[in-house]
A = this chain, B = another copy of it.
Amino acid sequence: MNLQVIRNVRPLGGSACDVVLEQGVIKAMMPAGTAAPGIDCLIDGQGQLLLPALVDSHVHFDKTLWGTPWRANTAGSTRNERIANEQGVLGNFAVAIADRAGPLIEHCIAKGSLYFRCHVDAQTVWGLRHIEAMLELRQKYASLIDMQLVTFPQGGMLIQPGTTDLMRAALDRGVDIVGGIDPATLDRDPIRHLETLFDLATGYGRGIDIHLHEPGELGRWQIERIADMTRACGLTGRVMISHAYSLGAFPPHDLLALADRLAELDISIMTCVLHQAALPVAMLRSRGVNVCSGSDGIRDAWSPSGNGDMLARASLLALRSDWNRDQDLAMAFDIVTAGGAHALGLTRYGLAAGCQANLVLLPAENLAEAVVNHSQQRTVISRGKIVARDGVYLGH
């Protein structure tokens, strides 16, 4: 039967358990010390916390400069200047995407993330290069991680002829999600932009994920339009709005009706926490809106920052939101785990019999301390196999 057991761990800080695994899946959880002594012991947790693997719901692996020598940032301050700068930086970069993104994926695995949604540039300036590289990397790491790919028109869609063809080609090759970006300020034709995305999504039977940096009333207006089309196309539960900065521009009580629409249509909101007015995350959650988080860019031409640590991101969310109570720190944790799993439509996710044995062990008294301290002494288990210890990737 190939049973294995993780002994003496405390799921989410609860009572000590033994966790029996079978073929990479959680088979049973029982009080510590009660699993049959004969079962092969994968690891003695020594009372550490047991967490489900972290979910990075928004990352740009294909853009990273990870592992290459430091490159002073040359981007301007506007989005369009950053897009142009990146085209210059990545256009002829000496190190292949696989040799940058691959090591970064391994770094993120070592931090405990085993589920990703990766936005992949669909830009005519480099054709299918980014898409093919990420499809290959997804295949390379398929035994360890689940990675959704989004075809993402970074440089604009309608304003860059040929981009929608590229997006179709990406979807034909197995990219999962239709991506969009700033329909009003980049493409400058918001309704046609959204109609194009929703046509692609319904045509291919896929979900949608839209980068929405647009500010204030303009951004809020577009969220309403995304909701309109989500309803009209029957895409409830299949749409994510990434960043949604405009939700930080209003007092939370002015957004209650919009939050209720998002909840009803199960449109997820992805926030990377920093860079802008904080989103009213607690209000959104209280109205039933699903919220998730991601690393965004990690050491790329946009910014040299980022560390791929979703538990540190939960801590940032708590700091930024002035969350101090245990239940609020648990909410931050939920956003980088269950919130991501819901947004990505993951099945067999969590700490229960039947779930994938995708797990993190780390020292902490409880879940709140796990968030605050985000200890780097993590043991990461993917599908029943130890893939990282003390934050170091063990290879595969």
Binding site for B on A (CB under 8 A): 69-70, 72-75, 77, 274-275, 277, 299, 302-305, 307, 315-316, 318-320, 322, 324-326, 329, 365-366, 368-369, 372-373, 376
A305 to chain B, nearest CB (A): 5
Residue of B with least CB distance to A327: B72
Tell me, rounded to whole Å, the shortest Cβ–Cβ distance linking A99 to chain B. Answer: 18
Least CB separation from A302: chain B residue: B324
Q: Bound complex: CA of A368 vs CA of B69, how far in Å? A: 12
Complex: A374 Cα to B166 Cα, angstroms: 39
Say yes or no: B369 contacts A70, CB within 8 Å.
Answer: yes
A274/B366 in contact, CB under 8 A: no
Minimum CB–CB distance for A373 against chain B, Å: 8
- Report yes or no: A372 in contact with B324, Cβ–Cβ below 8 A: no
Instruction: Please state if A320 and B70 are interface contacts (CB–CB under 8 Å).
Output: no
Query: Could you write out 17 A-B pairs with CB less than 8 Å apart?
Result: A69-B365, A70-B365, A70-B368, A70-B369, A72-B368, A73-B325, A75-B324, A275-B320, A275-B322, A277-B277, A302-B324, A303-B322, A303-B324, A304-B368, A305-B318, A305-B324, A307-B373
Cβ of B274 and Cβ of A319 under 8 Å apart? yes
- Bound CA span A394–B293, Å: 38
CB–CB A369/B325 < 8 A: no
Query: Nearest-CB distance from A300 to chain B (Å)?
Result: 10
Number of copies: 2
> Which 4 residue pairs of A and B lie closest in terms of their CB atoms, listed nearest first?
A73-B324, A70-B365, A72-B326, A303-B324
In the complex, which of the residues B274, B275, B372 contacts A304, with contact meaning CB atoms closer than 8 Å? B372
Starting from the known contacts A70-B369, A305-B319, 8 additional A-B residue pairs (CB-CB under 8 Å) come to A70-B366, A72-B368, A274-B319, A274-B320, A275-B320, A303-B322, A304-B329, A305-B318
How far does the alpha carbon of A303 sit from the alpha carbon of B321 in the complex, in Å? 12
Q: How far is the CA of A36 from the CA of B286 in the complex (A)?
A: 67
**Complex Cα distance A288/B257, Å?**
46
Asked if B315 and A305 make an inter-chain contact with CB atoms under 8 angstroms apart, the answer reads: yes
Instruction: Name A77's closest neighbour in chain B (CB-CB).
Output: B322
- How far is it, in angstroms, between the C-alpha of A325 and the C-alpha of B322 when the chains are bound? 28
CB distance from A393 to the nearest CB of B (A): 17
